[in-house]
């Protein structure tokens, strides 16, 4: 029996799945950031080692046929340095764009609108050529990302805290999430968050906006609309710049889209206002399952209807779910 690992590493987490040659699930793991823009090199090494060790813990497996998905050069080094585990092949071809498409059962000839801790727009044409928009990182801006949302949210919360802005339930949500008594101490916790850099800790506050919006907070709703708007602007900008054919769909990818249905609906409305016939696809699975599906994709194994039915049952805990 051959064994494989699928990784989806990003700004807020490393998510991994251990599976066998029949695509049968064995184990899963989730640890901290795998992005140099969000965490120190020392913390990244710690997170990478923890992900690998916890994934294989208690399995008795000492040889991995191939690792697929999204993982950094640093994680590659950590895997190759492991003396007790043999990694025969490390394959990150296609990166986060491909795993997103596979998780959505979508064609490679698609536009990918990725909004996670960071954000980027990809387009792969019918000849396999790739194009991008955005993706400039947290130092520049990363508009439409979870990090961008969290920065706007904390700014609004601070305005209220300092008596220079309207009340918003975002304050309550951030304080509860961070275990803080007020925004002053919440800011302190962002700068001293165990296991996270300040940038990653700030980005992790993004879901507080969705929770506040579902409680009726208008400022939170406006931030969700603003995030959707900049994602739509970037996506449409790339579509117009590259003259993307109308039959090429837009595929959503990334955890920030799950923050709240309002963000997704606003994005779709803006796309259809400009291009009514353009299809927008919401993924079936989380990206890490797309990394699992990279195995049959790159080995030339065509998935049958029976295979897909098996996968939908075997990985049902990894469905891509948007908060309502």
Per-residue pLDDT for the chain (324 aa), expressed as one digit of tens each?
A: 999 999 998 777 889 999 999 999 999 999 877 766 666 778 888 889 999 999 999 999 999 999 999 888 888 999 999 989 999 999 999 888 899 999 999 988 999 999 998 899 999 888 888 899 988 877 787 899 999 999 999 999 999 999 999 999 999 999 999 999 999 999 999 999 877 788 888 999 999 999 999 999 999 999 999 999 999 999 999 999 999 999 999 999 999 999 999 999 999 999 999 999 999 999 999 999 999 999 999 999 999 999 999 999 999 999 999 998
Q: Which of 35, 42, 38 is nearest to 14 (CA)?
A: 35
- Judging by DSSP bridges, how do beta strands 119-124 and 130-134 pair with one another? antiparallel
Residue 58 to residue 126: CA distance in whole angstroms: 44
- Position 246 scores a pLDDT of 97
How much is the pTM?
Answer: 0.90
- Position 175 scores a pLDDT of 97
- Position 142 scores a pLDDT of 86
- Position 96 scores a pLDDT of 87
Q: For CA atoms 77, 61, 290, 30, give the dihedral sign.
A: negative
- Position 135 scores a pLDDT of 85
- Position 225 scores a pLDDT of 98
SS3 169: coil
Residue with tokens 């927008």: 280
SS3 124: strand
Residue 301 to residue 13: CA distance in whole angstroms: 29
H/E stretch holding 176: helix 170-178
What letters, b where the CB count within 10 A reaches 16 and e where it falls short, cover 271-284? Answer: beeebeebebbebb
Assign residue 165 a region (left: φ > 0; alpha: ψ between -120 and 50; beta: otherwise).
beta
The answer to whether 45 and 12 are in contact (CB under 8 A) is: no
141 by Cβ neighbours in 10 Å (0-12 / 13-18 / 19+) ranks as: middle
Residue 270 to residue 233: CA distance in whole angstroms: 9
- Position 38 scores a pLDDT of 64
The answer to whether 20 and 2 are in contact (CB under 8 A) is: yes
Residue 149 to residue 61: CA distance in whole angstroms: 41
SS3 280: strand
What letters, b where the CB count within 10 A reaches 16 and e where it falls short, cover 56-70? Answer: beeeebeebbbbbbb
Domains of the chain: 3-95+285-318 (3.30.420.40), 99-139+224-281 (3.30.420.40), 146-222 (3.30.420.40)
Q: Which of 239, 238, 209 is nearest to 145 (CA)?
A: 209
Helices (H) and strands (E) in the chain, counts: 12, 12
Q: For CA atoms 35, 37, 39, 40, give the dihedral sign.
A: positive
- Position 35 scores a pLDDT of 67
Q: For CA atoms 201, 283, 136, 231, give the dihedral sign.
A: negative
Which residues, in sequence order, are CB contacts of 277 under 8 Å at separation 6+?
246
- What is the Rg, in whole angstroms, of the alpha carbon atoms belonging to the chain? 20
């Amino acid at each position: 029996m051959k064994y494989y690992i699928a990784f989806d590493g990003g700004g807020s987490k490393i998510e991994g799945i251990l599976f066998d040659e029949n695509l049968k699930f064995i184990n899963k793991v989730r640890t901290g950031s795998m992005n140099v823009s969000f965490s120190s090199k020392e913390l990244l090494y710690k997170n990478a080692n923890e992900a690998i060790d916890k994934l294989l813990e208690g399995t008795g497996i000492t040889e991995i046929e191939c690792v697929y998905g999204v993982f950094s050069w640093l994680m590659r080094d950590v895997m190759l340095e492991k003396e007790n585990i043999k990694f025969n092949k490390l394959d990150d071809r296609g990166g986060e764009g491909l795993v997103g498409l596979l998780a959505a059962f979508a064609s490679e000839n698609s536009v990918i609108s990725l909004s996670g801790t960071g954000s980027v727009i990809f387009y792969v044409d019918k000849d396999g050529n790739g194009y991008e928009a955005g993706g400039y990182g947290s130092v520049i801006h990363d508009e439409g990302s979870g990090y961008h949302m969290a920065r706007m949210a904390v700014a609004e919360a601070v305005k209220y805290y300092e008596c220079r802005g309207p009340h918003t339930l975002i304050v309550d949500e951030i304080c509860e999430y961070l275990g803080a008594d007020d925004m002053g101490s919440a800011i302190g916790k962002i700068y001293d968050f165990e296991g996270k850099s300040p940038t990653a800790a700030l980005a992790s506050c993004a879901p507080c906006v969705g929770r506040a919006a579902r409680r009726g907070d208008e400022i939170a709703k406006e931030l969700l609309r603003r995030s959707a708007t900049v994602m739509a602007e970037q996506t449409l900008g790339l579509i117009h710049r590259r003259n993307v054919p109308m039959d090429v769909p837009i595929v959503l990818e990334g955890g920030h889209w799950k923050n709240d249905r309002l963000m997704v609906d606003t994005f779709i409305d803006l796309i259809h206002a400009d291009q009514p016939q353009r299809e927008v696809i919401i993924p079936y699975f989380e990206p890490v399952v797309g990394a699992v599906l990279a195995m049959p994709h790159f080995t030339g194994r065509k998935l049958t209807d029976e295979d897909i039915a098996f996968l939908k049952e075997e990985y049902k805990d990894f469905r891509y779910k948007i908060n309502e």
